[in-house]
């Protein structure tokens, strides 16, 4: 398999993992809604004769859920953007950093991150990226 085909497949896997990360981020909505219920209607969370949970506990759940959603969506978008950059053969450093951060998401992110770092470090790929920069006048390394 040639290098261009490997980059194309790597780009597609970045899109897929980005979508999975966004879906995983949406799981934070469970915490968000549970926290809202706990903060706004704490009586639902009591049994006979028990005191309702304090409302600040619900707001902690809301904060955790909101951060989870925001983090998952942002990181999923960044991973998909890395796939776009790989397809365009630009911003190699961005893709390597996102690949390294993806290593935290076991097992799929780890596999994709390791393959991204290995593939983008190959001399032939580095030369392809450098050639892409020289043909565009150096504009492809800037964020668009």
Q: Is residue 141 part of a domain?
A: no
Q: How is 47-109 classified by DSSP, letter by letter?
A: -TTPPPPPHHHHHHHHHHHHHHHHHHHHHHHHHHHHHHHHHHT--HHHHHHHHHHHTTSTTHH
Q: Establish if 48 belongs to a structural domain.
A: no
- How many Å apart are CA 46 and CA 104, to the nearest integer? 38
Each residue's pLDDT tens digit, 41-73:
888 888 877 888 888 999 999 999 999 999 999
Q: Which pTM value belongs to this model?
A: 0.84
pLDDT digits (tens, 9 = 90+) for 32-49: 999 999 999 888 888 877
pLDDT at 102 over 50: yes
Which domain, by its residues, includes 8? 3-42+54-134
pLDDT > 90: percent of the chain: 71
Quote the number of domains for the chain.
1
């Amino acid at each position: 398999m040639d290098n261009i085909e490997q980059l194309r497949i790597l780009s597609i896997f970045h899109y897929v993992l980005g979508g999975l990360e966004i879906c995983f981020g949406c799981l934070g909505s469970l915490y968000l809604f549970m926290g809202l219920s706990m903060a706004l209607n704490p009586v639902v969370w009591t049994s006979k004769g028990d005191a309702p949970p304090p409302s600040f506990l619900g707001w902690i759940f809301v904060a955790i859920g909101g951060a989870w959603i925001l983090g998952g969506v942002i990181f999923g978008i960044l991973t998909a953007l890395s796939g776009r950059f790989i397809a365009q053969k630009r911003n190699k450093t961005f893709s390597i950093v996102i690949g390294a951060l993806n290593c935290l998401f076991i097992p799929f992110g780890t596999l994709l991150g390791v393959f991204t770092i290995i593939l983008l470090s190959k001399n032939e790929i580095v030369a392809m990226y450098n050639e892409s920069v020289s043909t565009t006048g150096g504009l492809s390394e800037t964020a668009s």
